[in-house]
Structure 1
Amino acid sequence: MKPMTLLLILGSLGLASAMRPKPGIDRTIFGTLPDGREAYLFTLRNAAGMEAKITNYGGFLVSLTAPDKSGKQANVTLGLSTLADYTKAPTSLGPIIGRFGNRIAGGKFTLDGTEYRLATNNNGNHIHGGKVGFSQKLWAATPADGPEPALTLRYTSPDGEEGYPGTLAVTVTYTLQKDNALRIDYQGTTDKLTVLNLTNHAYFNLSGQQRDVLTDVLMINADHFLPTTKAQIPTGELRPVAGTAFDFTKPRPIGAHINDTTDVQIQYGHGYDHCWVFTDKSPKLKLGATVYDPQSGRLMTMYTTEPAVQIYTANHLNGSQHGPEGVPYTRRFGICLETQHFPDSPNQPTFPTTTLRPGQTYRSTTVYQFSVK
């Protein structure tokens, strides 16, 4: 081989190596809260070029990139530009939800004969932890550098906060894996009998903010869902999805039946805002759902240890909020896959328990993996 040829090969190899993103985690100041405390924005990168931005204010997933079938990276979640955007009005665009994800009927429940009353912040019911839930807390943050960068967030919720019993210590760890997956691990302990149901409220848009999600193809590995009252409280029934607008056991477009006003459940949710019960009842990490955007080729595969997932199709977004790319977030511009236990479980004895006792450790894991096809 001629020396010049060898130099060209070595040079191209060096250039390719230099162009590969270096995996790791960076921290920048995201803004200052009204009480003077600083919030940070952590940027996690893997060697494949995927990037996740997370703030320790509320644990918001501010952005998450994934490649399309041409290899082009784009943001596939809905987020806001500044800390002020997140604090000036409560928003559910990607935060940690707690203490209890979803709804509790009448804002009350009873444990061991004691009734606990919570905020009624959703049509006379309690939702997503109350008026000041985990999404509005500043979490302690511990970054971990490396080929699979991780961010661990910690928050201790005092006894009686938002009406919940027990001092609750919570950790949530985001890990950006080598295989283009974002893993979220939740853990919690309490010093008093309480209830706990944590989740993340990310809105996904696999087109990279180019269009709404109605043409995305959804599969949910669930043969039952939970029908609700008009106030969106589960009736207690586990209804088979077969033959209904809720049957996604085989992949089909999200928009296929989303406007089926002959279905009272579609009317109640203004589209999809319901809990699907997985066919696989085991607590292992299992396939829960997939979302596929045929135009970009992006495929998101969700795995979870939870027994159910709340699917929400952004039925109430109205364009008043804009993302960092300047795109207005309009109706059905995203889809949430909120892995969780069933809504209103503390009041429904036939549902899997959400009770957490002293000495027990709450654990939950969800993985959102990205690929193309």
Structure 2
Amino acid sequence: MNLVKRCVYGISILSLVSMNVQCKGEKKEEAAGTAQEAKATDSVSIVKTVYGETEKGEQIDRYTLKNQKGMEVNIITYGGIITSLKVPNKAGKSEEVVIGFNSLEQYQKANPYFGALIGRFGNRIAKGKFTLDGKQYSLAINNEPNALHGGPEGFHRVVWTAEEAKGGDTASLKLKYVAKDMEEGYPGNLTVFVTYTLNKDNALDVLYEATTDKKTVVNLTQHSYFNLSSDFSKPILDHEITIDADKLVPVDATLIPTGKLTDVTNTPFDFRKPKAVGKEINAADDQLKKGLGYDHCWVLNNQGKGDRLVASAYHAGSGRLLEVYTDQPGIQFYSGNFLDGTLPMRNGGTYAHRTGFCLETQHYPDSPNQKDFPTTVLSPGENYKTKTTFKFSVK
């Protein structure tokens, strides 16, 4: 029975005024219901809340991106940090899979870049120096004797502005930061955009964009620590890692590249077929000793062919599979060797040795000082643009 019939059937003429009011009310209720139904059909949502306030009094917001397949990502405007990432296991239970803290206060303290955006230059630069057009630039030494991850006040410790966007199948958070000329020692005013996009199929895209008004170097990445078991009291040694790379960037005692690229065949660094992290991590290998485990950049295959599957991680117990797609030339696989049990877990306890791993898509370390490596130089008028995707599933 339609709306008019519902209102007039059996109603006396003396009730017409009352009926008219009732009909209008029902129309409003139906319209509101329709709007709610339309909203419910969106497969991905984004919600903003206040996360806290920095020591300088800056408000930090948290954005929660969530889809209907059980994936949820929390990102804060401080450092562009992924504070939480939940995905389903093979039983359909959605659980935490990244290392993180409970408070903004903890993120502001010294920590190994948990979940953060890294820039202006990810990884190490030898002795904190590089030369552009004959001019030498000096950076802060924060990983003696080298510069690491953009310096002590790099992109992981700045406040980003945020703009959200949502469609039916995706939700995006576009972060912006302008790094001033000579900030942390780097030349040029660099305007950076990083866009996180969650889709309905449990994939998180990270799009990096940048422009500069002076020649500079740029190498951006994302520094989340994963543990697909969701049990952060256990090491990640049982995770099977695959890296599509025939060559490695070997390093010296200070983890700076030697300049040569070596074949991974018959070494502990051959992950071209799935291999447990713990299988050879303690092997008598010179490179492993220097990194105290895996803390190296792999030379990815099929460079120049755009986005491609470059690495994966699988945890049999949970059934979770993480696939990494990128257009970058390298990936730093870090097995959490420097986690030492001093930093607090969310629910009590501490993050112990090798309880998280990183897969950081990037250019090779120390590229500004290595003439044979792919360039990381960005000039005025050029657009830096690169994308990495973290896709989750079960098997």
User: Normalization by structure 2: what TM-score?
Assistant: 0.88
1:24 aligns with 2:48: no
Question: Given residue 79 of structure 1, which amino acid in structure 2 is its aligned partner?
Answer: G
Q: Deviations over 1:135-176 (max 9, x none)?
A: 000000111133311111000000000000000000000011
Give, in whole Å, the separation in 2 of the partners of 1:276 and 1:22.
Answer: 36
SS state of the match for residue 110, structure 2? coil
1:245 aligns with 2:268: yes
SS state of the match for residue 149, structure 1? strand
Contact 2:329–2:363 (CA under 8 A) maintained in structure 1? yes
Contact 1:341–1:352 (CA under 8 A) maintained in structure 2? yes
Question: Given residue 201 of structure 1, which amino acid in structure 2 is its aligned partner?
Answer: H
Deviates most, 350-359 or 40-49 = 40-49
1:256 aligns with 2:279: yes
Distance 1:175 1:58, change over 3 A: same
Look up the match of 1:79.
Answer: 100
SS state of the match for residue 91, structure 2? coil
Deviates most, 22-31 or 189-198 = 22-31
1:280 aligns with 2:302: yes
Deviates most, 316-325 or 299-308 = 316-325
1:344 aligns with 2:366: yes
Give, in whole Å, the separation in 2 of the partners of 1:19 and 1:240.
Answer: 52
Give, in whole Å, the separation in 2 of the partners of 1:296 and 1:90.
Answer: 28
Distance 1:18 1:363, change over 3 A: closer
1:142 aligns with 2:142: no
Give, in whole Å, the separation in 1 of the partners of 2:308 and 2:273.
Answer: 17
Give, in whole Å, the separation in 2 of the partners of 1:298 and 1:283.
Answer: 27
Give, in whole Å, the separation in 2 of the partners of 1:327 and 1:94.
Answer: 19
Contact 1:283–1:306 (CA under 8 A) maintained in structure 2? no
Question: Given residue 267 of structure 2, which amino acid in structure 1 is its aligned partner?
Answer: T
- Percent identity among equivalent residues? 48
Give, in whole Å, the separation in 1 of the partners of 2:41 and 2:99.
Answer: 26
Q: Deviations over 1:16-63 (max 9, x none)?
A: x99999631111111111121100111000121210000010001101
Give, in whole Å, the separation in 2 of the partners of 1:21 and 1:150.
Answer: 13
| Unaligned segments of structure 1, at least 5 residues | 1-16
SS state of the match for residue 120, structure 2? coil
> CA RMSD, aligned part only?
1.6
Give 2:83's match in structure 1, choosing from 62, 70, 78.
Answer: 62
SS state of the match for residue 107, structure 2? helix
Question: Given residue 386 of structure 2, which amino acid in structure 1 is its aligned partner?
Answer: S
Contact 1:180–1:369 (CA under 8 A) maintained in structure 2? yes
Deviates most, 143-152 or 43-52 = 143-152
1:293 aligns with 2:315: yes
Q: Deviations over 1:86-137 (max 9, x none)?
A: 0122441110000000000010000010100101111211100011000000
Look up the match of 1:192.
Answer: 214
Give 2:248's match in structure 1, choosing from 225, 229, 253.
Answer: 225
Distance 1:143 1:323, change over 3 A: farther
Question: Given residue 360 of structure 2, which amino acid in structure 1 is its aligned partner?
Answer: E
Give, in whole Å, the separation in 2 of the partners of 1:353 and 1:281.
Answer: 13
Distance 1:250 1:236, change over 3 A: same
Give, in whole Å, the separation in 1 of the partners of 2:188 and 2:354.
Answer: 38
After the TM superposition, which residues 204-215 of structure 1 pair with which residues of structure 2 at under 5 Å, given as runs? 204-210=226-232, 211-215=234-238
User: Normalization by structure 1: what TM-score?
Assistant: 0.93
1:167 aligns with 2:189: yes
Shift, 1:327, TM fit: 4.6
SS state of the match for residue 135, structure 1? helix
Shift, 1:336, TM fit: 0.2
Give, in whole Å, the separation in 2 of the partners of 1:53 and 1:21.
Answer: 18
Q: Deviations over 1:305-349 (max 9, x none)?
A: 100000100001112222323352111101100000000000000
Deviates most, 142-151 or 266-275 = 142-151
| Unaligned segments of structure 2, at least 5 residues | 1-37
Contact 2:220–2:362 (CA under 8 A) maintained in structure 1? yes
Give, in whole Å, the separation in 2 of the partners of 1:249 and 1:265.
Answer: 18
Look up the match of 1:319.
Answer: 341
1:110 aligns with 2:135: no
SS state of the match for residue 170, structure 2? coil
Give, in whole Å, the separation in 2 of the partners of 1:363 and 1:18.
Answer: 33
Distance 1:338 1:115, change over 3 A: same
Q: Which has the larger Rg?
A: 2
Contact 2:66–2:198 (CA under 8 A) maintained in structure 1? yes
Give 2:325's match in structure 1, choosing from 274, 280, 303.
Answer: 303
Look up the match of 2:20.
Answer: none
1:36 aligns with 2:57: yes
